[in-house]
Chains A and B, each alone.
Chain A
Amino acid sequence: MDLSLILNTLMITTLTILIIPIALPLLSDSLKNSPTITTNTVKTAFFISLVPMTIHIYSGTENLISLWEWKFIMTFKIPISLKMDFYSLTFFPIALFVSWSILQFATWYMASDPYITKFFTYLLLFLIAMLILIVSNNLFILFIGWEGVGIMSFLLISWWHGRTEANTAALQAVLYNRIGDIGLILCMAWLACTTNTWEIQQLHSSSQMPTLPLLGLILAATGKSAQFGLHPWLPAAMEGPTPVSALLHSSTMVVAGIFLLIRTHPMFTNNQTALTLCLCLGALSTLFAATCALTQNDIKKIIAFSTSSQLGLMMVTIGLNLPQLAFLHISTHAFFKAMLFLCSGSIIHNLNGEQDIRKMGGLQKMMPTTTSCFTIGNLALMGTPFLAGFYSKDQIIESLNTSYLNTWALLLTLLATSFTAVYTIRMTVLVQTGFTRIPPLTPMNENNPAVTSPITRLALGSITAGLLITSYILPTKTPPMTMPVTIKITALVVTALGIAMALEMSKMTQTLILTKQNSFYNFSLSLGYFNPTMHRINTKTMLTGGQNIASHLIDLSWYKLLGPEGLANLQQTAAKTATQAHPGLIKAYLGTFALSTFIILMSMY
C-alpha cells in the first residue's frame, strides 16, 4: 500500500470537503447551506484527517506537494506547495475536532440569530484559511492564510455590529494585526531579495544570519499572537460571540504567530539575539497578561487574558529553541481553552447574558455538567499533574529551569505561573461555589445535547490529549532528564502557592472589610494603563504630524506662501509704498506745465 499516496489524497480530500459547503451554493440556487450541514462537514473532515495523522505516527511519512506555479517572474518560483509534516498532520485533527465541537455548540448558542447560516459560513471560511496557513510550505501561501484569518477575525468580532464597542474592538484587531503584517512582509521581502525563495525547507541557518528578517518574524508573531506591545486587541476581541472567542481567539488564530515562528525555526537556531528577544518578550507578555487577569470581573476577559498569558509562554518556549514543545503546548492548550470558552458561553446563556463573575455563584449544583468540565479545564490550565496541560507546561518550566538563560525571564515566567493558579482558582470559586448571587428568575437549562456533548468531548480531550500526543510522538530534542528535586517540582510548588493564596484571598471577600484602593490594584484593573496611553498619544502624534507635513508645510507654506501668494504679498507691499509717491494729480501737473510754458514764452520777449 502506498502510504504517501493515501496521505496526500486524504489531506486534499479534507480540504476539499471543507470548501464544498461554501462553493456549491454559489454554483446552483437549489443548494443551500445550513448550520447542521456545516457541522457535519467539519465532523466528516475531522474523521478523514485522523487517517493521515495515524499514517504519520505509524510510519513517519511526510510529504511535500507542489501544485500549480505562479509564473510571475521567471527567476523566482512561487508554487502552491503544501507541506505535510508532523506539525500540519497533527494540527489538522486537533483543529477540526475543536472546530466541530464549537460548531455544534454554536447551533445552540446562536440559535436565535437570524443570520446563523452566514455566521457558520464565516466560521468555516476562517477554518479553511487557518488550515491553509498550517499546511503551507511557502511563505506566500502562508501569507494568504494569514490575511484570511485576519479578515475573518474582523468580520466575526464585529458580528453584532450595532454595538460600538464591537466595532472598535474589530478595528483594533485589524490595526494591530496589520502592524504585525509589516514584519511578515519585511521578512518575505528580505528572503526574496537575498535567498530568492519563499519555501520553508530552503530556509537555512547560516552562522551569521542577519537579525533583520528575524525581527520581522517576531513582529509578525507579536501582532498576531498578542504579545506585549501589540496585545490590546485580544481582550477587546471578547466583544464577539462566544463561539468566535472559542475558535479564533483561544485555539486557532492566535497561535498562527507562534506557528509561523515554529515553521521558520531553522532561521532562528543560531541567532542568539532573536532567541533572547523571543524569550524576554514572551516572559513579559505572560506576566503582564496574568497580572491583568487578576482583577478582571468579566468571565470572558479572564479567559482571554489567560490565553494571552499562555501565548507568552509559547513564545518563551520558542526563545528556548524548543519548537516542538511549543507545538505540543499549542495542541494541548487548544483543547482546554476552547472548552473553557464553551463552558463560559453555556454559563452566560443560562444566566440570561450575565458575564460578571461577581454575580454568579453556587452554579455547581445548578449546572453540574458545565461546571465539572469547567473545573477540569481550569485544572488542566494550571498544569495539574497528568491532565493535558501538565505534559506541555511542566516540560516548559523544567526546560526553563535547566537552561542557561536570562534569570529575569525565568522569574517572570514562574511568577506568571503562580498568577495563573490565582486567577483560575478565583474564577472557579466565584463562579461555582459559595452562595448564589444570581437573580431568582433565570432560564437555566443545560440539558440540550448540543451543549453537553461538545463540552464533554473537549473535556475528554483535555484529559487525554497530553498523554496521547506525548506517547506517540518522539521528541526531536532530548528533554532534560536529570535535575534536582527542587527544580523538578518548581512548577507544582509555585502553582500550589498560587492556589493557597487564592483560597485565602477568596475568604477575605466574605469578611466585609472595606477595600481601599492601592496602586497595584489600579495598575492591574486598568490593564497597565497601556490602552489609554498608547491609543491617545500614538494616534495624536501621527495625525498632528501628518497634518503638519501635508497640510501646513506642503499645501499652505510651500504652495501658497513661498509661491504665488508670497510673491503677491511682496508686490503688494512694494506697490503700496510706491504709489504714495504718485498721487496722480493730473490737473495740477498739466496746469503747472501750462503755467511754466506761458512764463517761458513771456520771458522770451
Chain B
Amino acid sequence: MTTLHLSFYSAFTLSSLGLAFHRTHLVSALLCLESMMLSMYIALSMWPIQTQAPSSTLLPIFMLTFSACEAGTGLALLVASTRTHGSDHLHNFNLLQC
C-alpha cells in the first residue's frame, strides 16, 4: 500500500469516527460527512491513474455531483432546524419528541 492509499484510508476512517462520535454541533457531523466524500473522491480519482484506464475518469465527477447535492440537503436541514430551535445543539433536537 502506498502513502497515497494510507492517506485516504486514514482520512476516511478518521472522518467516519468523527461522524460517529460528534457531540454538540450538528455542523461538525456535516463537516465529517464532507471529508468522507472528499477522501472517496481522491480514492476514485486515483483508480484510473493506477489502472491506466481513462474511461473510469467519469466516476469521480458523478460522485462529486451527488455529494454536492447531499451537502446542500444537509445544509438545508441544518438551517431549518436552526431556525426552529435557535441553535444546532444536538441535545435540543429530541426535546419535542412525541
> Residues of A with Cβ closer than 8 Å to B?
576, 579, 583-584, 587, 590-591, 593-594
Contact = CB atoms under 8 A, between A and B. Distances in A.
A601 B2 CA distance: 20
Q: Is the interface of A mostly helix, strand, loop or mixed?
A: helix
B17 A594 contact: yes
Interface string B22-63: 110000000000000000000000000000000000000000
Contact of A590 (B19, B97, B98): B19
Shortest 3 CB-CB distances between A and B: which pairs? A590-B20, A594-B20, A591-B20
B22 A587 contact: yes
Contacts of A591: 20-21
Contacts of A584: 94, 97
Nearest to B23: A587
Interface string B63-94: 00000000000000000000000000010001
10 contacts: A576-B98, A579-B97, A583-B97, A587-B20, A587-B22, A587-B90, A590-B19, A591-B20, A591-B21, A593-B20
Contacts of A590: 19-21
Contacts of A593: 20
Contacts of B20: 587, 590-591, 593-594
A583 to B, nearest CB: 8
Given A584-B94, A591-B20, 19 more contacts: A576-B98, A579-B97, A579-B98, A583-B97, A584-B97, A587-B20, A587-B21, A587-B22, A587-B23, A587-B90, A590-B19, A590-B20, A590-B21, A591-B21, A593-B20, A594-B16, A594-B17, A594-B20, A594-B21
Contacts of B22: 587
A603 to B, nearest CB: 17
A590 B20 CA distance: 4
A593 B90 CA distance: 19
Contacts of B21: 587, 590-591, 594
Nearest to A594: B20
Nearest to A593: B20
A592 to B, nearest CB: 9
B34 to A, nearest CB: 16
Nearest to B20: A590
B54 to A, nearest CB: 34
B82 to A, nearest CB: 17
A587 B25 CA distance: 12
A270 B97 CA distance: 83
Nearest to A584: B94
Contacts of A594: 16-17, 20-21
A457 B21 CA distance: 115
Contacts of B16: 594
B90 to A, nearest CB: 8
> Which of B17, B20, B97, B98 has most chain A Cβ within 10 Å?
B20
Nearest to B17: A594
Contacts of B97: 579, 583-584
B13 to A, nearest CB: 9
Contacts of B17: 594
A164 to B, nearest CB: 56
Contacts of A576: 98
A587 B24 CA distance: 11
A568 to B, nearest CB: 15
A579 B94 CA distance: 12
A590 B29 CA distance: 11
Contacts of A583: 97
Contacts of A579: 97-98
A579 B20 CA distance: 22
A579 B17 CA distance: 27
Contacts of B90: 587
Nearest to A579: B98
A579 B97 CA distance: 9
A380 B90 CA distance: 103
